[in-house]
Amino acid sequence: MKLDAKALTAMKGKSPIAMLTAYNCPVARYLERSGIPVILVGDSLAMVERGLDNTRSVTIEHMQYHVDAVRRGAPNTHIIGDLPYQTYETEEAALKNARLLINAGADSVKLEGSFPEIIAVLVSNGIDVVGHTGLTPQTANNFRQVGKDTEDAQRILREAEEITGAGAFLLVLEHIPDQLGEEVTRSVSIPTIGIGAGPACDGQVLVINDMLGIGDYLPPFSKQYAHVGQIVEQAAEKFKTEVENRSFLTNE
């Protein structure tokens, strides 16, 4: 049964929320079968799928394509679609682009940073919104941990409260100290979803490629549950050998 925004918000303090990213139909299908309740179609696809250095080159058309594919694979899972860089700078643009993702199959949209006016407009137009503070890759110059000094920690706390007050139903906290993750989680009324924000968050999200070991870089705050990249490489090497020595399809 697909969980809506209200049901997910109600899980705060009751049941931890597991979230993973997905970018295509087959992976989404496996995640739904596993019981993962929320799939994020993240603009992280720029780096883990397209091999780019940052997330800023993702377009709304890219996101529509991938949201559509993931929805086809996971018809009964709550899907969050990321609003790309510079697609929510005005209320009109945010509403237009959010509707494009909803029409592509997303149940809700996520945007980075404190934009309470934008969030409020989306929510007032019936669009469920996920907030995101801490490290915000769309505008960050690097991927170092943030919120380590008092001033920056206070900024993140303030943004968390602004995002919550504007009507978001979930809040992603990225790459901040564990203690700050716990403090934000206590201070807001909506569930926090951590990615490198400590175990006290109300839920956790991982990039699927990081979790499966697909790629050459594992963020320091991530966790690897498989080594699929090695399996692909080994299988390809075996196929190549069989073709070259003409044993392919000639042995049992």
Catalytic residues, which ones?
174
Which residues sit opposite 21 in a β-bridge? Answer: 40
Asked if 74 contacts 39 with a C-beta cutoff of 8 angstroms, the reply is: yes
How far is the first Cα of the chain from the last one, in angstroms, to the nearest whole number? 43
Contacts of 87 (CB under 8 A, 6+ apart): 60, 93, 94, 97
Tokens of 70: 């993931």
User: What is 195-250 written as a DSSP string?
Assistant: ESS-TTSSEEEE-HHHHHT-SS---TT------HHHHHHHHHHHHHHHHHTT-TTT
Contacts of 84 (CB under 8 A, 6+ apart): 43, 55, 58, 59, 60, 62, 63, 97, 138
Tokens of 77: 């899972």
Tokens of 172: 């992603």
Asked if 225 contacts 51 with a C-beta cutoff of 8 angstroms, the reply is: no
Tokens 């409020």 sit on residue:
120
Contacts of 175 (CB under 8 A, 6+ apart): 134, 135, 143, 144, 145, 146, 195, 196, 197, 219, 221
